[in-house]
Structure 1
């Protein structure tokens, strides 16, 4: 497969630009992806840490408030349940997050409670009492059991609480009871909102998850996912105590750039081990990178088209002198008399032009020499007529043509009568001039597609193109004209010289195998003519 210069240049320019575009996409895309990943990932990790910090700080504050409340004198013996109820209701009124607060005796019976809910009930089997007897206790998120039907619930959604309880001791260190509180988990929504709302102004499709350490349950997150299990690599890394980011494995909408943090408590609050994940789909996070890649691709394709066109035009401009040289070379090969143009636009083309001009000049000189030498080899030097070699070359083409056309060739073998006497009387120089004049007269008696050849001395052979029906009659007419012409006197150097000629004839037909045999028969007929009185024509039978 071959390409012209214009196609090659245009294709080469386009391919180079496309390869450069692919390289730019690879290099810039990777660098931009890493840069965006670090930037957004760091931001998500910071938000996850802030969320975790707020959750732990809130729980630390609430547990501290319960613990401080337990130290008040109202909880010492003798007990004033009315005063305790007032304190508990005041706490709930000041901090509505305390959905229910109760004071339990050492056996787990509710002595005082906000809004008198569960008053007199035995909740000794609940973890909030059992763990609260041991010391400050914070319990993980759980569904309401006893309070589900007792508390107002306008939303209709399942109520969830976080427990805080603390033992209450008298002045001598005896256990008076347990101060227990259920914190509505709705407070976490407020914390989430405080983080998520500002974040959404900067980032699109961001989600926050709070996952329980106890059973991998999603405690806080997008609607529809709360209460479901989560298990992935990011969660495992968060539980290792790290605060960083990771690109979750997946494809399309299942791949996320996720920042993570672990809730390990705040000051003396040990924390509940909540893992906070803040994530964004990778196709959104890396949207700017993808836009940049698309811009590079479109720019690269546009550049490929533009540079392809420029390459096409440039190649045409460069190839124009080469095309001129090629067209001139074609004309030379067809035989036209033209010269390779001298071009100087480019140094290399100028060198090529000069070299070709020199080459053509040398080839022309060589061809002329060879042509002259070939011509000399095929022609008689004295008369300019074809010699025996020239005759043989002519016969090759004449025989093929006659076979194709189903015609004949008539061989006339002729020599001069009285030529020896001219040489003896006037000298060989006069004899040579006489031969030249005879050659002229013989050519005048033949047509362009026929030949007159000198075999040597005063012997000549004429090959005529004759028909298949009456070759002898046609040959005889030409032979008579030849005899008449040769017999005309010739004036050479003031001397009038007259010679005659004898002719022997034979006809070659397409059925003959050899022209040499026809020539031999014509030679025999010549000698018959000379013995019969000269100046006449004799025919031999066809071969």
Structure 2
């Protein structure tokens, strides 16, 4: 069995071993200067990152909301304009006088003269033949197959943007382009509700271009701002020339039904802050499902925040240089007296005689340190042997001469702290010991404990540790060494129980006690040694519940369920 002494890792030889000379390290002055510089630079970089990112996020949000607001404003104006035009044609169609083609012709000519956005306006009879038309265009033509007549016969009709090939070259438009129109038509009905024809209008798409120009002019300082108007199927109606007539390059922007903004990479590899708004109609006009998209390159949005971030980092670098210099000077007042103390301590450590810690000047704390070190060195002189004797006493149970709880716990921690190896833990508790103290007194109890301690010490192997934890509780750790078989815990427990059951003589009386044993293994039962010890303790109490004077091995499937 292991003898009383220092647990692994704290031998007297190790205490007397000279300390290794430290390698070359950076000085205090340099440490302070570098630390100040690093802290300032670090805080500056963090501040630049946080402020810059925060400003970038705030600016992106502001621009995104601005883009969304711009798109919503244009969408509302488009809806408002279309609602006004639809209401105008609906109101005109209800005038009885317009059923007369001659009256209708004069009214149409006046409307065309006053509203330049009307590209063509005409009246058809019930068969779809044009009987009145602005500037005489399409007069007598059959348009019965066109949606503007077919849908107009059913009720108020607003048609989406389309090309009007029949009117190309006959109405003013952008040079080289096929004109685009929006249709509005309404039925002409008699008092009895019968339909006699249709009032049909082609509104020039040029008015939408005019709306965009009005919105964009106040935003001339928004570099890179681009507006798109999309039809219900996602085709670009108005936008940069290469995009017109094609789907928007980023389809996900229009897939969402709610207005809002997002930052996204487009196919050209550039990230844009983009606002999206959907036409929702106005009053009884449901709208044509148009979508308005406003976008601006993110690098233009972030240019100001990048400049702010650069300025913060530059100022921080200058401050770091300045304050690190001041730190170098201030640290010198501390480093010099500390260096004198360190030199003296190193000489004392080498055993040089006549050397004392100097009484240095400088800061009050350093003077106190110097005085305290002198007193400490004096008090430590010639006390090492006494400390070793006291330590041996502290680890021994005075009654049984076995190791005590303190030694046992430190031994377990030292021998299993590295995580390697394996061991068996046995908790041993005497059965029937309390009646001995109650009936015969504590002297009899002490005799029993001394003899039981001696018997336990003789049973275990030399490298096993058995200790008295207190009262009538004992514990043992059986390390399992490589190259030799593990202990037979069942056979060992039987020997322990048999040895404890042997009577103890006291004043001519034979005293008998028994013992209960709990057994657990490390690391098989758990990799945490403290948990294994709790398992052994739980097994011990199960042994007592099962009838005492027996051993119980902790088993996870049984003991775990009971726990």
TM-score range, shorter chain: 0.5 to 0.7
Q: Which protein shows a greater Rg?
A: 1
Question: Which of 83, 92, 101 lines up with 1:69 in the alignment?
Answer: 92
1:98 aligns with 2:123: no
2:251 counterpart residue number? 232
Q: Given that residues 51 and 191 in structure 1 are in contact (C-alpha distance below 8 angstroms), is that contact kept between their aligned partners in structure 2?
A: yes
Kindly indicate whether residue 230 of structure 2 is the aligned counterpart of residue 211 of structure 1: yes
Distance across 2 between alignment mates of 1:88 and 1:123: 18
Asked if the contact 1:253/1:281 (under 8 Å) is kept, the reply is no
Question: How does the TM-score come out when normalised to structure 2?
Answer: 0.56
Residues 116/267 of structure 1: CA separation in 2 closer, same or farther (3 Å cut): same
Q: In 2, Cα distance between the equivalents of 1:37 and 1:55?
A: 27
- State the distance in 1 between where 2:262 and 2:297 align: 12
Q: For residues 504-542 of structure 1, what are the alpha-carbon distances to aligned partners after superposition, in whole Å with 9 as ceiling and x for unaligned? A: xxxxxxxxxxxxxxxxxxxxxxxxxxxxxxxxxxxxxxx
Kindly indicate whether the alpha-carbon contact (under 8 Å) linking 2:281 and 2:287 is maintained by their aligned counterparts in 1: yes
Go from structure 1 to structure 2 and tell me whether the alpha carbon gap of 1:80 and 1:348 turns closer, same or farther (over 3 Å shift): closer
Relative contact order higher in (CA < 8 Å, ≥ 6 apart) = 2
Unaligned segments of structure 1, at least 5 residues: 363-543
Conserved? CA contact 2:262–2:274, under 8 Å: yes
2:275 match: 259
| Cα gap change, 1:115 to 1:250, in 2 (>3 Å) | closer
User: For the structure 1 residues 321 and 99, does the alpha-carbon distance in structure 2 shift closer, same or farther, using more than 3 Å as the test?
Assistant: same
Equivalent in 68, 83, 90 of residue 60 of structure 1: 83
Distance 1:113 1:292 in 2: 63
Q: 1:253: Cα distance to partner?
A: 6.5
Aligned equivalents of 1:232 and 1:297: distance in 2?
40
Residues 1:223 and 2:246 aligned together: no
- Please list, as runs of the form range in 1=range in 2, the aligned pairs for 1:284-363 lying within 5 A after superposition: 284-323=300-339, 342-351=359-368
Please state if 1:170 is matched with 2:193: no
Distance 1:130 1:165 in 2: 9
Q: Distance in 1 between matches of 2:216 and 2:74?
A: 9
Contact 1:209 1:220 in 2 (8 A): yes
Residue 184 of structure 1 deviates from its aligned partner by 0.8
Which structure 2 residues correspond to residues 500-539 of structure 1 after superposition, within 5 A? none
Contact 2:152 2:200 in 1 (8 A): yes
Find the aligned partners of 1:273 and 1:318 in 2 and give their Cα distance: 77
Question: C-alpha separation between the residues in 2 aligned to 1:165 and 1:33?
Answer: 50
Say if 1:167 and 1:179, in contact at 8 Å, map to a contact too.
Answer: yes
Q: For residues 310-351 of structure 1, give each alpha carbon's deviation from its aligned partner in whole angstroms, at most 9, with x where no partner exists.
A: 333333343234456678999999x9x999864321234334
Cα displacement string for residues 401-453 of structure 1 (whole angstroms, at most 9, x for unaligned residues): xxxxxxxxxxxxxxxxxxxxxxxxxxxxxxxxxxxxxxxxxxxxxxxxxxxxx
Does the Cα contact within 8 Å between 1:18 and 1:304 map onto a contact in 2? yes
Q: After superposition, where does 1:390-539 map in structure 2 within 5 Å? A: none
Aligned to 1:196, what secondary structure does the other structure show?
Answer: helix
Q: Which is further off, 294-303 or 315-324?
A: 315-324
Question: Is 1:107 aligned to 2:127, yes or no?
Answer: yes
Aligned residues: 354
CA pair 251-11 structure 1, distance change in 2 beyond 3 A? farther
- Contact in 2 for aligned 1:248/1:256 (Cα 8 Å): yes
Q: Measure, in 2, the Cα distance between the counterparts of 1:57 and 1:298.
A: 52
Contact 1:252/1:283 (<8 A) preserved:
no
Say whether the 8 Å CA contact 1:325–1:340 is kept in structure 2. yes
Deviation at 1:359, TM superposition (A): 11
Picking from 172, 181, 187, the partner of 2:201 is 181
Gaps of 5+ in 2: 1-23, 380-563
SS at match of 2:193: coil
Q: Which residue of 1 aligns with 2:448?
A: none
For residue 167 of structure 2, give the secondary structure of its aligned residue in structure 1: coil
The residue aligned with 2:73 is: 50
Deviation of 1:143 (Å):
1.7
User: How far apart are the structure 2 equivalents of 1:143 and 1:5?
Assistant: 82
Out of 153, 157, 164, the position equivalent to 1:133 is 153
Question: Equivalent of 1:4, from 27, 36, 45?
Answer: 27
Displacement of 1:173: 2.0
Match of 1:405 in 2: none
**In structure 2, do the counterparts of structure 1 residues 267 and 296 end up closer, same or farther at CA, with 3 Å as the change threshold?**
same
Deviation at residue 270 of structure 1 after TM alignment? 1.2
Tell whether the 8 Å contact from 2:333 to 2:362 is kept in structure 1 after alignment.
no
Distance 2:266 2:138 in 1: 49
CA RMSD of aligned residues (A): 3.4
* Cα distance in 1 for residues equivalent to 2:112 and 2:268: 47
Who is 1:243 aligned against?
259
CA–CA distance in 2 between the matches of 1:172 and 1:159? 38
